[in-house]
């Protein structure tokens, strides 16, 4: 049985056409899937449907066989910007999901310290977001999403604003963390190389539909050398060609 | 800082120029008193003590009016932001009441509350109400949509979102409203006393006018200015303290 199942999900804003158009997609437990597409192709909307933030106008999303109708604590979401609360310390930001539910226990603090050291943020717990670099802020945002140990992690271009080197470091740390915890991930990006590097499977989305579905059979764990291998480039090229869909070129003005 | 010294120097030059002008021009001291005469009246008033009760009353009126106006303005702002129906229903009335010059209502308040402190406090509160209402609405409204979604994603209740996201995020804008309100509160208290006060600094100005005592009027201006500056500085200290976490790491 699939872990995450999106069945015929559609979404339309009132009075507009379908932003997401009858998408079917399944993710197996512990798999890392990437969703690639141009801006405005509906990938963020699909992610929000999967998160329960937007109700699909048609179709449904199931996680472990249960329908998602509203945000749940077993789903973690990482936004395009770190969305840290400026007036809280790193520690309080990471513990926010817990403190909104109940009083913070010593066990939560231990878990937070462990997560922060895994993310390479030792010694920064008392800092405020202002005092962190962009990469560090993204790391805090990921730690915050993982503190409740979600089964599924949904990520919406979390590294888009970072420089290339920082992005590569974060990609490696993210892969490591998700591999350790067997977290199931749906990762939205517009960066083809990022999608291939991270994903077990890559979907190309266009005009609200999945146009292309590609299994990335590169060995894991992946390291920097993979990025320069012929197999990697071949995978990227395949996605790139799928994005050159003549249907869109005709319809874009 | 060097510029501080120049600032004080400018003050000395201005006062010296004023003194020289009044002495040399031969204008009546009823029109413009010399600074030395003003200082003499001011010093006398403070040491003999007849100015203190007036300072005290104006301060109390200002504090009461400020806290009532700010408190109610903030609560109404929160209520209107949380309840869209109420906001749309009441918005035209709020605009209309904001345009009404509040001081023009002074005579009516005297009819309702009588001469004295109550009418002045009500006028002051009314003047302070709007900046807080407006800034609270603005501050709570302009929240990063992704942060709203984050709180939805985390299953936060409306109250949690209000207390832990909206109010802390909007605090800088709300505090800017408080700063405006502090300045307006002094105007409200003094002018309120012009209209219906028996005592206080504003009422004293009217009394000094009746006696054509321009030295006393200038002395009272100085006290009002100092009072305003003390309140303003206190607000800035309060703001720094409340926003210390917002500002950490950035140059305030």
pLDDT tens-digit readout, B1-36: 688 999 999 999 999 999 999 888 888 888 889 999
Q: How many CB atoms lie within 10 A of CB B44?
A: 15
The predicted pLDDT at position A248 comes to: 45
Q: Are A77 and B155 in contact (CB < 8 Å)?
A: no
Average pLDDT over residues B201-212: 92
Q: Are A79 and B150 in contact (CB < 8 Å)?
A: yes
Contact of A76 with A184, CB cutoff 8 Å: no
Three-state DSSP at A155 gives strand
Q: Which residues on adjacent β-strands are paired with residue A25? A: A6
CA A39 distance to own-chain centroid: 16
Contacts of B169 in chain A (CB under 8 A): 85-86
Please tell me the distance in Å from A85's CA to the nearest CA on chain B: 8
Q: Which residues have C-beta within 8 Å of that of residue A153, sequence separation ≥ 6?
A: A75, A76, A77, A78, A145, A146, A178, A183, A184, A185, A186
**Domain A1-74+152-159+184-253 bears CATH identifier 3.30.450.40:** no
Q: How far apart are CA B56 and CA B58, in angstroms?
A: 6
Average pLDDT over residues B61-75: 96
Q: Which residues on adjacent β-strands are paired with residue A75? A: A152
Nearest to A71 among B146, B153, B171 (CB): B153
Q: How far apart are CA A135 and CA A108, in angstroms?
A: 24
Contact of B18 with B12, CB cutoff 8 Å: no
Contacts of A88 in chain B (CB under 8 A): 245
Largest Cα separation within chain B, whole Å, is 77
Contacts of A96 in chain B (CB under 8 A): 154
Q: Which residues have C-beta within 8 Å of that of residue A3, sequence separation ≥ 6?
A: A26, A27, A28, A29, A30, A31, A63, A64, A151, A152, A184
Contact of A245 with A206, CB cutoff 8 Å: yes
How far are the Cα atoms of A13, A55, A58, B53, B145 from residue A20, in angstroms, in the given order?
Answer: 10, 12, 10, 72, 21
Q: Are A83 and B147 in contact (CB < 8 Å)?
A: yes
Q: CB-based contact (8 Å) between A241 and chain B?
A: no
CB-count exposure of residue A118 (10 Å: 0-12, 13-18, 19+): middle
Q: Are B153 and A51 in contact (CB < 8 Å)?
A: yes
Please tell me the distance in Å from B84's CA to the nearest CA on chain A: 20
Q: Are B146 and A71 in contact (CB < 8 Å)?
A: no
* Per-residue model confidence as pLDDT tens for chain A (253 residues): 589 999 999 999 888 888 999 999 999 999 999 999 988 889 999 999 999 999 999 999 999 989 998 888 889 999 999 999 999 999 999 999 999 999 999 999 999 999 999 888 888 999 999 889 999 999 999 999 999 999 999 999 999 889 999 999 999 999 999 988 899 999 999 999 999 999 999 999 998 999 999 999 888 888 888 889 999 999 999 999 988 765 544 444 4
Query: Tokens for A75?
Result: 């789903």
Element (H, E) at B174: helix B167-196
Q: CB-based contact (8 Å) between B47 and chain A?
A: no
Residue A83 zone, left/alpha/beta (φ > 0; ψ -120 to 50; rest): left
Q: Are A86 and B246 in contact (CB < 8 Å)?
A: yes
Q: How far apart are CA B19 and CA B132, in angstroms?
A: 42
Q: How far apart are CA B252 and CA B247, in angstroms?
A: 6
Residue range B112-163, pLDDT digits in tens: 988 889 999 999 999 999 999 999 999 999 999 999 999 999 999 999 999 9
Please tell me the distance in Å from B51's CA to the nearest CA on chain A: 44
Contacts of A80 in chain B (CB under 8 A): 146
In this structure, what DSSP letter does residue A9 have?
E
Mean of per-residue pLDDT scores for chain B: 90
CB-count exposure of residue B69 (10 Å: 0-12, 13-18, 19+): buried
Q: Is the pLDDT of residue B223 over 80?
A: yes
The predicted pLDDT at position B31 comes to: 84
Q: CB-based contact (8 Å) between B252 and chain A?
A: no
Mutation to test the A interface, candidates B153, B163, B164, B252, most A Cβ within 10 Å = B153
Q: CB-based contact (8 Å) between A97 and chain B?
A: yes
Q: List the 37-66 stretch of A: residues with Cβ below 8 A of B.
A: 48, 51, 53
Q: Are A100 and B144 in contact (CB < 8 Å)?
A: no
Q: Which of B69-73, B98-102, B208-212 has the highest mean pLDDT?
A: B69-73
What Rg, from alpha-carbon coordinates, does chain B have? 23
Percentage of chain B exceeding pLDDT 70: 97
Q: Are B152 and A53 in contact (CB < 8 Å)?
A: yes
Q: Is the pLDDT of residue B252 over 70?
A: no
Q: Are B160 and A79 in contact (CB < 8 Å)?
A: no
ipTM: 0.88
Q: Are A87 and B245 in contact (CB < 8 Å)?
A: yes
Nearest to A53 among B149, B156, B250 (CB): B149
Q: CB-based contact (8 Å) between A75 and chain B?
A: yes
CA B134 distance to own-chain centroid: 16
The predicted pLDDT at position B250 comes to: 44
Q: CB-based contact (8 Å) between B168 and chain A?
A: yes
The predicted pLDDT at position A245 comes to: 60
Cα–Cα nearest to A68, from A14, A26, A146, A6: A6
- Break chain A into its structural domains and give their ranges: 1-74+152-159+184-253
């Amino acid at each position: 049985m699939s872990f995450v199942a999106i069945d015929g999900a559609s979404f339309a804003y009132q009075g507009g056409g379908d932003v997401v158009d009858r998408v079917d997609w399944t993710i197996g437990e512990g798999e890392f899937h990437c969703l690639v597409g141009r801006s405005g192709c509906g990938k963020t909307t699909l992610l929000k449907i999967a998160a329960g933030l937007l109700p699909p106008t048609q179709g449904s999303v199931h996680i472990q066989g249960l329908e998602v109708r509203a945000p749940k604590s077993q789903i973690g979401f990482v936004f395009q910007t770190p969305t840290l609360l400026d007036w809280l310390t790193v520690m309080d930001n990471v513990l926010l999901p817990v403190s909104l539910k109940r009083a913070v226990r010593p066990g939560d603090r231990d878990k937070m310290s462990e997560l922060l050291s895994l993310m390479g943020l030792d010694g920064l717990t008392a800092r405020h977001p202002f005092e962190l670099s962009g990469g560090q802020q993204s790391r805090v945002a990921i730690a915050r999403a993982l503190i409740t140990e979600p089964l599924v992690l949904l990520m919406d271009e979390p590294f888009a604003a970072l420089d290339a080197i920082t992005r590569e470091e974060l990609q490696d740390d993210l892969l490591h963390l998700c591999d350790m915890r067997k977290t199931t991930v749906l990762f939205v990006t517009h960066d083809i190389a990022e999608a291939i590097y991270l994903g077990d499977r890559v979907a190309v989305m266009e005009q609200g539909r999945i146009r292309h579905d590609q299994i990335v059979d590169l060995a894991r764990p992946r390291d920097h050398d993979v990025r320069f291998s012929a197999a990697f480039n071949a995978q990227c090229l395949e996605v790139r060609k799928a994005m050159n869909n003549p249907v869109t070129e005709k319809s874009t003005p | 800082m060097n510029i501080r010294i120049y600032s004080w120097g400018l003050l000395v030059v201005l006062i010296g120029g004023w003194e020289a002008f009044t002495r040399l021009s031969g204008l009546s001291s009823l029109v413009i008193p010399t600074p030395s005469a003003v200082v003499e009246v001011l010093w006398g008033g403070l040491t003999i003590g007849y100015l203190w009760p007036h300072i005290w009353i104006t301060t109390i009126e200002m504090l009461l009016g400020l806290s009532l106006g700010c408190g109610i303005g903030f609560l109404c702002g929160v209520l209107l932001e949380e309840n869209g129906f109420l906001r749309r229903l009441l918005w035209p009335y709020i605009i209309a009441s904001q345009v009404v010059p509040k001081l023009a209502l002074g005579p009516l308040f005297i009819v309702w509350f009588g001469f004295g402190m109550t009418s002045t406090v009500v006028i002051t509160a009314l003047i302070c109400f709007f900046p807080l209402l407006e800034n609270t609405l603005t501050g709570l409204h302009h929240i990063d949509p992704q942060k709203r979604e984050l709180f939805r994603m985390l299953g936060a209740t409306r109250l949690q979102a209000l207390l832990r996201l909206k109010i802390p995020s909007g605090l800088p804008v709300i505090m800017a409203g408080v700063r405006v309100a502090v300045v307006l509160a002094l105007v409200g208290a003094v002018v309120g006393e012009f209209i219906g006060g028996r005592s206080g600094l504003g009422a004293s100005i009217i009394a000094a006018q009746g006696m054509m005592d321009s030295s006393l009027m200038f002395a009272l201006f100085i006290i009002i200015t100092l009072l305003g500056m003390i309140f303003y500085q206190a607000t800035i200290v309060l703001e720094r303290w409340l926003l210390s976490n917002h500002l950490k790491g950035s140059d305030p």
